[in-house]
Structure 1
Amino acid sequence: MAGFEIIDISGDAGIKAYGNTLEEAFINSAMGMYSLITDLEGIHEKRAIVVAVESHSPEGLLVSWLNELIFHFDTYGFIGKSVRIGSLKNNRIDAVLSGEDFDLERHERRLLIKAATYHAVRIENISGQWEIDVIFDI
Structure 2
Amino acid sequence: MERMDASHRFEAHTGEVRLVLSAPDLPALFAQAAQGLAELMAEDAMAIPFEDRLDLEVEGRDVEALLVGWLDELIFQTEIRGKVYPRVEQIEVGEGRLRARVAGGSPKAFKTSVKAATFHDLRVRSEGGRLHAAVVLDV
* Separation of aligned partners in 1, 2:133 and 2:37: 12
Taking structure 1 as the reference length, what is the TM-score of the superposition?
0.90
Per-residue CA distance 1:70-108 (angstroms, 9 max, x = gap): 010001123113103431010210000011134xxxx13
1:2 deviates by: 5.6
Aligned to 1:31: 35
Residue 67 of structure 1, aligned match among 67, 72, 89: 72
Give structure 1 stretches of 5+ with no counterpart: none
| C-alpha separation in 2, matches of 1:37 and 1:51 | 19
Question: Does 1:128 find its partner at 2:129?
Answer: yes
Q: CA RMSD in A?
A: 1.4
Confirm or deny that 1:43 pairs with 2:44.
no
Query: Any runs of at least 4 consecutive aligned residues in structure 1 with deviations exceeding 4 A, and if so which?
Result: none
Query: Under a length normalisation based on structure 2, what TM-score does the superposition of the two structures give?
Result: 0.89
| Secondary structure in 1 matching 2:12 | strand
Cα distance in 1, alignment partners of residues 61 and 120 from structure 2: 16
Same amino acid, percent of matched pairs:
26
Deviations 1:40-86 (A, max 9, x none): 24311112100001111111111011000001000112311310343
Q: CA contact under 8 A between 1:34 and 1:40: conserved in structure 2?
A: yes
Letter in 2 for 1:122: R
Where structure 2 has 5 or more consecutive residues not aligned to the other structure, the ranges are none
The answer for the alignment partner of 1:91 in structure 2 is 96
Letter in 1 for 2:29: A
Distance in 1, Cα, partners of 2:52 & 2:80? 16
